[in-house]
Amino acid sequence: MAKGTREKKSTKRRERRSVPQGTAHVHATFNNTLVTISDAEGNVLTWSSAGRSGFKGSRKGTPFAAQVAAQAAGQQARDMGVQSVDVLVKGPGGGRESAVRAIQASGISIKSIKDVTPIPHNGCRPRKRRRV
């Protein structure tokens, strides 16, 4: 390459793909709620969280914050052509039900709801008991 000449960077454009069927993963912890919508193979189409939606601190763990996050993810998925999803809910947080309702309210039909919270079958020894 000669001095003073610049090679143009090839930018990779994200192709708009139409995916009619997908999977919505709702990870509801006590502190935050993450909503991820993927295609049938598991490739992420869009995601959102309560923190990404503008909530900070302890308000991220509220059901309303989960609802706003799920609406944002559902709207982006609708723009990509997603019409129906299977919902996988994980975690004990307060945003479990409100996130599922918000996905349905955004115009995506829900085919099934499955709880995939990991439960130990007497695995690791738990931490010491919390005293308040």
For the segment 82-108, what is each residue's pLDDT rounded down to a tens digit?
A: 999 999 999 999 999 999 999 999 999
- pLDDT per residue over 29-88, tens digit each? 999 999 999 999 999 999 999 999 999 999 999 999 999 999 999 999 999 999 999 999
Helices of type H across 47-108: 63-79, 96-105
Task: Tell me if residue 33 falls in helix, strand or coil.
Answer: strand
Where do we find the tokens 């995601």?
47
Where do we find the tokens 């390459």?
1
118 neighbors 92 (Cβ within 8 angstroms): no
Helices of type H across 80-120: 96-105
33 neighbors 93 (Cβ within 8 angstroms): yes
- Give all domains of the chain, ordered by start, each with its CATH number: 21-115 (3.30.420.80)
